[in-house]
A = this chain, B = another copy of it.
């Protein structure tokens, strides 16, 4: 009988899910709102409604199959414990809650969904780790035993695989390259510190770079017409395509910061390849060329010209669902 896995991608706005086979073909997919369940008290209803929507999807397929597991990608997910822990944008405390004792919120998502589906294997990890495993199962990292995945979205996520295994670390949170300090006392980061890589290299980071450069440079640029609050990183790509000098310098600088950081990443993990994934990676040569140049320029001699910098092989709009389902296929192989 054909085997299928559910992949679930939990974002702050929507929860998308699909029914996927081990080759990455998607047989059904759907979505529910995450935003409709903003508070801690809404979590049980979210689980009920999600379970109902998953069941509807499972019944929509008109052939017989075996459901082998549920894989989930979500922010602040702890693989070891199967939980989502104090997520910034999910199931928050109500604003009127002022009880100082309550600082953590732990949601046992893997257990809750597994129970709803007869104890089926259910695994959860953060979205960047899910993308990493997706690359290994369906993408360009097939057969690689040591590689690094960098996902460039609103922030910078990452995951790394060594000896053929995903590295979760003792706490289940390893591979947070986005929060390595690249500029002592530099830009403020959402994590409360300063100078983290993701404050420079991410959709938000490159936007901040654009405003920094508009302050530093005198060159005319179309970007000067757009106020900060309406600005998004796609505008920089569009302007760069037309040769806008500030937009081009944005990409060079972003590549410099990323390339330097990747040289250090290589020194620590000695990967066969580094993959770039996500919105900023779609800028192609604009981001790959300076990143590669600065990575090699800063590389420890032993690693020079040995590590591949590659685009992700998963370009489907369902990348996040595929990544989540890959958790299951990967665990069955191991």
- Chain A residues in the interface with B (C-beta under 8 A): 145-147, 160, 162-163, 165, 167-177, 179-181, 184, 191-193, 260, 263-265, 267-272, 298, 300-303, 306-307
Contact = CB atoms under 8 A, between A and B. Distances in A.
A269 B302 contact: no
A179 to B, nearest CB: 5
Given A163-B163, A191-B300, A300-B179, A171 B306 contact: yes
13 contacts: A160-B268, A162-B162, A165-B165, A170-B270, A171-B270, A173-B270, A173-B302, A176-B270, A177-B268, A180-B267, A181-B263, A184-B260, A268-B269
A307 B173 CA distance: 13
Given A165-B165, A168-B270, A265-B268, 13 more contacts: A163-B167, A167-B269, A169-B270, A170-B270, A171-B306, A174-B268, A176-B302, A177-B267, A177-B268, A179-B300, A191-B301, A192-B301, A193-B298
The complex is assembled from copies of this chain, and their number is: 2
**In the complex, which of the residues A176, A184, A303 has the most CB atoms of chain B within 10 Å of its own CB atom?**
A176
Contacts of A169: 146, 162, 269-271
**CB-based closest 6 A-B pairs:** A169-B270, A174-B270, A170-B272, A146-B170, A162-B167, A180-B264
Nearest to A306: B171
A235 B173 CA distance: 41
A193 B300 contact: yes
A20 B265 CA distance: 36
Contacts of A298: 181, 193
Contacts of A177: 267-268
B193 A174 contact: no
Given A191-B301, A268-B176, A260 B181 contact: yes
Contacts of A306: 171
A270 B172 CA distance: 7
Nearest to A184: B260
Contact of A170 (B145, B168, B180): B145
Contacts of A160: 268
A160 B267 CA distance: 12
A268 B270 contact: no
A264 B269 CA distance: 13
Contacts of A300: 176, 179, 191, 193
Nearest to A168: B270
A160 to B, nearest CB: 8
B171 A303 contact: yes
A218 to B, nearest CB: 26
A252 B247 CA distance: 43
